[in-house]
Amino acid sequence: MNSGSLPFALSAESFSTISPTLGAKSLDVMVLAGIIAFAFVALLMIVRYRLPGTIAVISLFGQVVATLAICSGYFTVFNGSTLTLPGIAGIILGIGMGVDANVITAERIKEELGNGKTLDGAIASGFKMGLTPIIDGNVTIVIVAALLMGAFGPTDGFWGKVFNPIFFMFGPSTAGSIYSFGFTLLTSVLLNF
């Protein structure tokens, strides 16, 4: 520091620009992959669990539609969020959590039916036994998503003042993407309840 600057000069070796259509194409491909994956999961749920699988697919479709409506700002109660690639990943992870909850419940009901309970008793017992692991997983994801939103969201609120100084090392270029992931994940998981 005291001896001055180093005797090196920086020079650009190469410089290239990326077309904005590349990002749009990536977004289109990811949306298409999400639709194909949802159709595949829906088919598996319907084939494996029949009526409960069909009901689960309908509820998951409603979850996706509601998440996209909230992200777009359709409901005035919520501020909209920019749908980025990490945001789509958050929606997909939220769908995975919903599938997990439905599979846990359906498997518990099948176990209870196998133990000789009536349909009403198996449904009541299956939902009761499946509730604890579902709540554990969803509460954990809600906490993580809230921390991500607080750490990488706007800095003028309470969350920003508390968490933003902790995560400054990630840089401002990641803040919007991580916030979008946290927002869509939180929205999807809250719609699972």
Among 142, 139, 151, CA closest to 177: 151
The predicted pLDDT at position 22 comes to 66
Please say if the pLDDT value at position 179 is more than 70: yes
Mean pLDDT of 79-86: 74
Residue 70's pLDDT band (cuts 50, 70, 90) = confident
One-letter amino acid at 45 equals M
Q: What is the pLDDT of residue 173?
A: 53
At 170, give phi and psi (nearest 5°): -75, -20
Beta carbons of 180 and 86 less than 8 angstroms apart? yes
Tens of pLDDT, residues 11-58: 777 766 666 666 677 778 877 888 898 899 999 999 998 888 898 899
pLDDT in tens, 88-143: 888 888 888 989 998 999 899 889 989 999 989 999 998 999 999 999 988 999 89
Domains in the chain: boundaries: 23-35+48-72+79-192
**Predicted pLDDT of residue 67:** 86
